[in-house]
Amino acid sequence: MSNDIKPNSGTSPENGKEFEKSGEVQKSTTGQSFQDSSSDNETGQEKKTPDWLDDAIPDEKTSDNVAEKSLMQDFHEDVEESADDPSDREVEEKDLPEPVKGEQEEDTIEVQAGPLVGVEGVLPVELDPFFIHEPVRRSIKLQVTKAQETQALLLDQMIKGEIESQPEVTQSKAVSNNILRIGIAIFLLVSILLPLSTRLPVTITPPVSRDSVSANQLIESISDGATVLLTVDYEPGLSAEMDAALASVVDRMMMKDFYLVLVSTVPTGPVQAERLLVLLNQRGGYQYESSKNYTNLGYMPGGPIGLLNFAEAPRQVMPYDLDGNAVWYSPPLQTISSISDFHLVVVATENPDRARSWVEQVQPKLGNTPIIMVVSRQAEPLVRPYYGSEPSQIQGLVSGFGGGAFYLSSNAQAGSSSMYWSSINLALIAGGLLMLIGAVMYTGKSLITRKPE
Amino acid sequence: MRQLKTSIVVAIAVITGIIVLVGYFIELPVLKNLRIMLLHFAVILIAVTLIVGVVNLVQVHWKKIQNRQSGGVYSLILLISLLVTIIVVGYFGPTSTPSLWIFSNIQIPIASSLIAVLTVVLIYTGIRLLKRGFNFFSLLFMVTVLIVILGTVSFQGFRIPGLRELSTWITQVPAVGGARGILLGVALGTIATGMRVLMGSDRPYGR
Amino acid sequence: MSVFDLNNLDLLGAILSFGLTLIILSFIFGDNLLFRFAIHVFVGVTAGYVAVMTWYNVLLPEIVVPLIGGSQAERFYSLLVLVLSSFLFMKAFPRLSGWGNPVVAYLVGVGTATVIGGAVLGTLFPQVLASINLFDIPGLFEKSSPVWMQISNAVVILVGTISVLIFFHFGARSNHGSHPERAAWISAVAWMGQIFISITFGVLFAGVYIASMTAFAERMTFSANFILLLFRP
Amino acid sequence: MNYLDYLYIVDRGIQGLGFVLIFFFVMIISAIIVRRRDKPFIREIPTYSKLKQSISLAVESGQRLHLSLGSGGINSMQGGSALAGLSLLKRLYRMTYLSDRPPVATSGEGTIGILSRDSIRSVYEEVGVMEEYEPTTGQVSGLTPEPYIAGTLLVILDQHVSTNILMGNYNSGIALLADAGERRGCLTVAGSDNITAQAVGYVFTEDLLVGEELFASGAYIQPSTMHVASLHTQDFFRWGIVAVILVAGALKLAGVM
């Protein structure tokens, strides 16, 4: 039994022997161990070197070099779908040195009879026939392999599990944690509603950020009535922040009577975009109408593939708008044959991966067309490296609610960006304060309780 | 036979991959058109995988209802809301008033409220971070968090001199350095993972 | 504006929106039946949207329309796509699952190549160039802030980028069967890299916190306004 | 416009192709070298050790594991992280197919969902206990990131999970999953290719895979020549990049370029 368990202990490289044995013994046992390196087609991550490469690589199998076999096994196993195919098992067995064969029979019997049938990789014992062949290096201090450490810890945890009266402890803990959560929520609620109820102007207009100014100038520099690709790539969860940030930018573009071409790589994006335009029509008194002032191309699936495809052949990829009209032949879009024909591209997203996809797949095809990113604060740090760098991959960056607010104050527009400014500021500081208290408390605690080395 | 099947499947992945990759770098007209076609097909098929996902979702919840498993009622609710949405949005159109109504009054409130819950969770764990494991890095992490938060807010009469500048500097200098390092690392990891697929070493597409 | 000024649909929407907000927020107090109800509705509605958007944007224009009224070539293409799609659908049924593999392989091949190309031309090259150009002296003089400050910032960014890159270094040596370890000097640089990672993560976490607080504030103010609306004459 | 920019614009495609080809050859050479070695010389990543440890513990104590594969699609590298999770899934099932509480796998994308079901099913086929197979153990719990988080939240709360393995693409909502795990008093091990999710995961668990580490999962979960070779190739180019940045940066500072 110890040996069918064994493979799991071969997880650390220094356990060359266990590592090797893992591959060998598993073939003969019913289940597989965690470290099992047998075929894994369905799950994808198959440990196969390509067959052609396998042939190209000189075979240097040496019977005494144990761990080497373990790696080589990955090669051979993969070439033959070993675990699933009985004939392959025979082949494997032929290769096995005598002691292992002996072990295998034992293993099989143990596994089928034992209580841990199929449950492998638990509590291994260092009993490996390969140890007999090679001299073991001895040192003065006790040599404990990673596997042994792991298993010792395992045993320890299991014993603890037995003796400790866990439920009560965790229950009382859970209750106190819940109280803390509720306390935080109430504290935030009060700090948010306070400025709303008192109507006190607790905040000051934030200073204008350089980023927002340059984004503003960029839009200003584009002639009125230009055709702009506007991507609404955020999900409903953060629409409070993103709507605020994007509204301030789109508001500016509507003032300049830009023709907006809406597209999205998020299924709910087209609805989000439509909703935003309805909001801005109400708030800004615009009369933006579908196909007259803007066209909604809708949802573009495929993530990076879709983006690359759209960047190379927008007309073929999105031939119709959401109403089924062949929009590319209507006056505003007649002149647009490639993505670089747009006068400006605005991408609004809360997800750094999506932002990166746009920069990686679309930006290189844009030529001289500038791109403005309107991102959530949570994505900003990962988008910033692409902005203001030389060569600059993003020409404008409006970041989150704050960015929106800065943007507004920079072009003197009153918009939704400044709506909850006071509440949010107070709540932010309240939450920050709580974290600060926690930090100070636990720092002090750990400094006091820390034993001098 | 199975080996042959596998080889064919691998060949499909490798060949299409190589065509698209080479076309990515070299602008040969023939290659470009072929690549655009391959990409376009892929986009359509990915859209189909979305439908497959919906089918999978329905299968799972239908089984729950059939087997009278606990939570079967919720599965029923899920299927009903799915069906109603398909009918309403499908009939009136995705950007019609009824669709906008569903989006604004069901999806946005639920999604934003979940994020609101997330806020509480973040503060809760933020408070306990240094309790969990106090070390130099977690302390540095927490200090950075607090500086950025305090540097963001703007109050009348509340202004720690230099804090906003410090916060901006952290965001635009060391954080950019760190982020750039991570991005370059991730790019390397991505290329290596991709190369394994194109070499037929990793096969994430079934037997 | 009072509650009576709203039309029925708006009122119903506001009530629904308010109710769902409270239900989800109740999760702060703990798991409950209504929360589960709302979550299932959310998952269902979004799945419905996904299905319809896919139909409107892809299946209808790319498969159905060409099949019905397209030219010979268009019909051929959409038929081909239809066949491939049906293979993909087989993946949903265990017995036929194997038929879907070639199509999945095709998607994986195309997807992989796309992201490799993007990573090389979109991130690797430009970001390496950006790191080099940090020290473009003529460029530094064009900017407003003093040159010494720009150079010191450039050095910090450079040290950050390089140390974080080295932090991820995987290669290690093991002496006499001990755990494989990296060279001492690499570990030292990696330690510095960890400092930059902690700072970057800190900024990111703060960003997530600020973004989510916006949602919290928006939901709270909406709820407060709705309650006020109810009590307004 | 300096020389580098000129190169960058004019020959970008050729440079890119050249880079990919060199990457390819370095990978093959590394594979040959790795194959000659007696063991993989790669540093230890504690999270992977902890992962194996927690799995062993859960299996031994007969508790349920939850493997969340995220909402990344198979068609992008976001799926790469899900694939790391998938490779784990089959092993989990090989260890636990007879357990009263087999692991449950959730995913947020159609193909990954199906692949996870394929994997689970194949294990039951392998060992001939199809009657034990529950199709709902591999499920799509939501089709876009937010509903996926919501749906998975309920799975964690319902299934009496002892260990949460979050390995895939997430957004900041990963915090809700980790929190749900904590409410149920279970251990969470997290790895995501989304860096925002990593930053959020940082406050929840020390057992976190950072940046590039998740892409190395193959070499740690199931060591094989190509996986280890690709890590050495990454290292090779890592140092190449460092050298290029330092040398070219110095030349720029000196005004040579």
- Of A73, A71, A85, residue with least CA distance to A41: A85
Touching check for D7 and chain C: CB below 8 Å?
no
Q: Are residues C228 and C150 in the same domain?
A: yes
Per-residue confidence (pLDDT) for residue A273, from 0 to 100: 94
Asked whether B109 and D162 are in contact (CB, 8 A), the reply is no
Q: Which of A33, A120, A235 minimises the CB distance to D146?
A: A235
A302·B46 Cβ contact <8 A: yes
Q: What are phi and psi of A159, to 5 degrees?
A: -65, -45
pTM: 0.83
Q: What is the pLDDT of residue A150?
A: 57
Q: Work out the average pLDDT over A144-153.
A: 60
Cα separation, A270 vs B95, whole angstroms: 7
**Which chains border C (3 or more CB–CB pairs < 8 Å)?**
A, B, D
Quote the tokens at residue A384: 């910033």
CA distance C226 to B103: 19
| Strand order across the D187-192 sheet | D138-140, D104-107, D64-70, D161-169, D187-192, D208-209
Contacts of B39 in chain A (CB under 8 A): 305, 308-309, 312
CB-CB contact of D71 with D169 (8 Å): yes
Query: If pLDDT is split at 50, 70 and 90, which confidence band does A297 have?
Result: very high
- Which residues form the domain of B48? 1-65
Backbone angles phi, psi at D41, to 5 degrees: -90, 75
Report percent pLDDT > 70 for chain C.
Answer: 93
Between A116-120, B148-152, C166-170, the lowest mean confidence (pLDDT) is in: A116-120
Q: What is the pLDDT of residue A119?
A: 41
The backbone region for A209, taken as left when phi is positive above 0, alpha when psi lies in -120 to 50, beta otherwise, is beta
- Is pLDDT at A62 greater than 70 in this prediction? no
CB B121 within 8 A of CB D176: yes
CA distance B121 to A188: 12
Q: What is the DSSP string of D31-97?
A: HHHHHHSSS--B---HHHHHHHHHHHHHHHTTPEEEEEEES--TTSTHHHHHHHHHHHHHHHHHHHT
Q: Which string of b and e fits D25-47 if b means at least 16 CB within 10 Å? A: ebbbebbbebbeebbbbbbbbeb
Instruction: Please say which residue of C43, C69, C95 terminates a domain.
Output: C69
Nearest to D124 by CA among A116, A42, A105, B6: A42
Radius of gyration of chain C (CA): 29
A19 at the D interface (CB within 8 A)? Answer: yes
**Token pair recorded at residue B60:** 């799972």
- Averaged pLDDT for residues A76-81: 36
**pLDDT for A135 beyond 70:** no
Sign of the torsion formed by the C-alpha atoms of C98, C103, C107 and C113: positive
In a domain, C186, yes or no: yes
Which has more pLDDT, B15 or A72?
A: B15
pLDDT digits 0-9 by tens, D123-160 = 887 777 777 777 677 888 898 899 999 999 988 888 77
How does DSSP assign A171-198, residue by residue?
A: HHHHHHHHHHHHHHHHHHHHHHHHHHHH
Q: What is the pLDDT of residues A316-325, one digit of tens each?
A: 888 888 888 8
Residue C124 lies in a domain: no
Nearest chain B CA: its distance from C8 CA (Å): 12
Taking residues A127-151, report their average pLDDT: 46
Average pLDDT over residues C6-34: 90
- CA distances for A2 relative to A111, A121, A227, B18, B81, angstroms: 10, 9, 71, 47, 53
Is A185 an 8 Å CB contact of chain C?
yes
Q: Is residue C151 part of a domain?
A: yes
Structure tokens at D238: 């890592």
CA D229 to chain centre: 17
Number of H helices, E strands in chain A: 19, 6
Among C138-142, C190-194, D154-158, top mean pLDDT goes to C190-194
Q: Which of B83, B180, B190 to mutate to test the interface with C (most CBs of C within 10 A)?
A: B180
The mean pLDDT of A428-439, rounded to a whole number, is 91
With respect to residue C74, please indicate whether it lies within any of the assigned structural domains.
Answer: no
State yes or no: pLDDT of A1 exceeds 50: no
Task: Please write the tens of the pLDDT for every residue from A365-416.
Answer: 888 899 999 999 999 988 988 887 777 889 999 987 665 555 444 443 443 4
Choice among A423-427, B58-62, C136-140 with the minimum mean pLDDT: C136-140
Kindly tell me if the per-residue pLDDT of B109 is higher than 70: yes
Is pLDDT of A122 > 60?
no
Reply yes or no on whether the pLDDT at C121 is more than 60: yes
Q: At A417, is the pLDDT very low, low, confident or very high (cuts 50, 70, 90)?
A: very low
Least confident range from A68-77, A246-255, C153-162, C164-173: namely A68-77
User: What is the average per-residue pLDDT within A57-83?
Assistant: 38
Three-class SS state of A232: strand
State how far the Cα of D121 lies from the Cα of D115, in Å rounded to an integer.
10
Q: Which of A45, A118, A235 sits opposite D222 (nearest CB)?
A: A45
Among candidate residues D141, A427, D164, D175, the one with its CA nearest the CA of residue B117: D175
Mutate to test the interface with B, among A316, A383, A435 (most CBs of B within 10 A): A435
- B203 min Cα distance to partner chain D (Å): 10
Split at pLDDT 50, 70, 90, the class of A160 is: low
Q: How far is D199 from chain C (nearest CA, A)?
A: 5
pLDDT at C63 over 50: yes
Mention every residue, 6+ apart, whose C-beta is less than 8 A from residue D17.
B22, B25, B26
**Distance (Å, whole) CA A234 – CA C42:** 17
Q: Which residues contact A24 (CB under 8 A, 6 or more apart)?
A: A69, A73, A92, A96, A100, A104
Residue B145, token pair as written in the block: 């968090």
CATH class of A210-424: alpha beta
Laid out side by side, the sheet with A259-264 consists of A294-299, A259-264, A227-233, A344-349, A371-375, A396-399
Cβ-based contacts of D142 with chain B (< 8 Å): 57
Give me the helices (H) in A327-415, please: 331-334, 352-357, 380-383, 400-410
Determine how many CB atoms are found less than 10 A away from the CB of residue C72. 7
Q: Say how many CA atoms lie within 13 Å of C10 toward its Cβ.
A: 9
pLDDT grade, residue A138 (50/70/90)?
very low
- pLDDT category, A129, cuts 50, 70, 90? very low
Whether A74 shows a pLDDT value over 80: the answer reads: no
Ranking C209-218, D130-139, D243-252 by mean pLDDT, the lowest is D130-139
The pLDDT of residue C190: 93
R_g over Cα of chain A: 32
Convert the pLDDT of each residue in D100-117 to its tens digit. 778 889 998 887 887 788
Q: Which of A281, A442, A447 to mutate to test the interface with B (most CBs of B within 10 A)?
A: A442
> Which residues of chain C lie closer than 8 angstroms to D47, CB-CB?
none
Percent of chain D whose pLDDT exceeds 90: 23
pLDDT in tens, B10-31: 999 999 999 999 988 887 888 8
Percent of chain A with pLDDT over 70: 54
Rg (C-alpha) for chain B, rounded Å, is 26
H or E, element range at B203: none
Assigned token pair, D139: 């499920």
The whole-number pLDDT of residue D29 equals 94
DSSP string, D231-247: HHHHHHHHHHHHHHHHH
Q: What is the pLDDT of residue B160?
A: 77
Q: Measured between CA atoms, how close is A50 to chain B, in angstroms?
A: 5
CA distance B112 to chain C (A): 6
For all residues of chain B together, what is the average pLDDT? 88
Work out the burial of residue A155: count CB atoms within 10 Å of its CB; fewer than 13 is exposed, 13-18 middle, 19 or more buried. middle
Q: Are residues C54 and C142 in the same domain?
A: no
The answer to whether A346 and A374 have CB atoms below 8 angstroms apart is yes
Could C171 and D141 be called an inter-chain contact, meaning their C-beta atoms sit closer than 8 Å? no
What is the band of C176 on the pLDDT scale with cuts at 50, 70, 90?
Answer: low
Rg of chain D over all Cα atoms, to the nearest angstrom: 21
d(CA B60, CA D178): 24
CA distance C43 to D142: 6
Query: Model confidence at D90, in pLDDT bands (50, 70, 90)?
Result: confident
Residue D79's pLDDT is what?
Answer: 58
8 A C-beta contact, residue D73 and residue D108 = no
A305 touches chain C (CB under 8 A): yes
* Per-residue confidence band for C74, with pLDDT thresholds at 50, 70 and 90: confident
Final residue of a domain: which of B65, B86, B110? B65
C109, C115, C118, C120: CA torsion to nearest 10: -90
DSSP symbol at A7: G
Number of CB pairs < 8 Å for B and C?
373
Beta-carbon separation of D176 and B51 below 8 A: no
A388 vs B115, higher pLDDT: B115
From the list D157, D190, B15, A427, the residue with the least C-alpha distance to C105 is: B15
Q: Based on the structure, what is the number of domains in chain B?
A: 2
- Give yes or no for residue C192 having a pLDDT over 90: yes
Structure tokens at C227: 């309650």
Among candidates A182, A268, A378 on the partner chain, residue whose Cβ is nearest the Cβ of C211: A378
Contact between A274 and B180 using a beta-carbon 8 Å cutoff: no
Check D4 against C182: CB less than 8 A apart: no
Q: Which residues contact B26 (CB under 8 A, 6 or more apart)?
A: D13, D14, D17
| Listed range (A102-111, A338-347, B94-103, D240-249) with the worst mean pLDDT | A102-111
- Single out the residue in C69, C101, C118 at which a domain terminates: C69
Measure Cα distances from B87 to A321, B90, D42 in Å. Answer: 21, 5, 55
| Percent of chain A topping pLDDT 90 | 23
The structural domain count of chain C equals 2
Quick one: pLDDT at residue A70? 38
> CA D45, CA D212: separation in Å to the nearest integer?
12
With cut-offs at 50, 70 and 90, classify the pLDDT of residue A127.
Answer: very low
- Per residue in A325-373, pLDDT tens? 888 888 888 888 889 999 999 999 999 989 988 998 898 888 889 999 9
Quote the pLDDT of residue A153: 61
Summarize pLDDT for C24-35 with one digit per residue, the tens. 999 998 888 999
pLDDT tens-place string over residues C28-57: 988 889 999 999 999 999 999 999 999 988
Mapping DSSP to helix (H, G, I), strand (E, B) and coil, where does residue B134 land? coil
Domain C-terminal end among C34, C69, C104: C69
| Residue C45 maps to a domain | yes
Section C131-138 average pLDDT:
82
Confidence of residue D24 (pLDDT cuts 50, 70, 90): very high
pLDDT, residue A22, reads: 38
Residue B39 and residue B45: Cα distance in Å, rounded? 10
Domain closes at, from B65, B100, B117: B65
Instruction: Tell me the C-alpha distance between D74 and C184, whole Å.
Output: 39
**pLDDT, tens only, B191-207:** 998 898 899 887 777 65
Residues A47, A77 contacting (CB under 8 angstroms): yes
Whether C1 and C227 have beta carbons less than 8 Å apart is answered as no
Q: CB-CB: which of B94, B123, B200 is closest to A271?
A: B94
- Above 80 in pLDDT, residue D230? yes
DSSP structure string for D164-216: EEEEEE--TTHHHHHHHHHHTT-EEEEEES-HHHHHHHHHH-S-EE-GGGGGG
Report if residue C109 sits inside a domain.
no
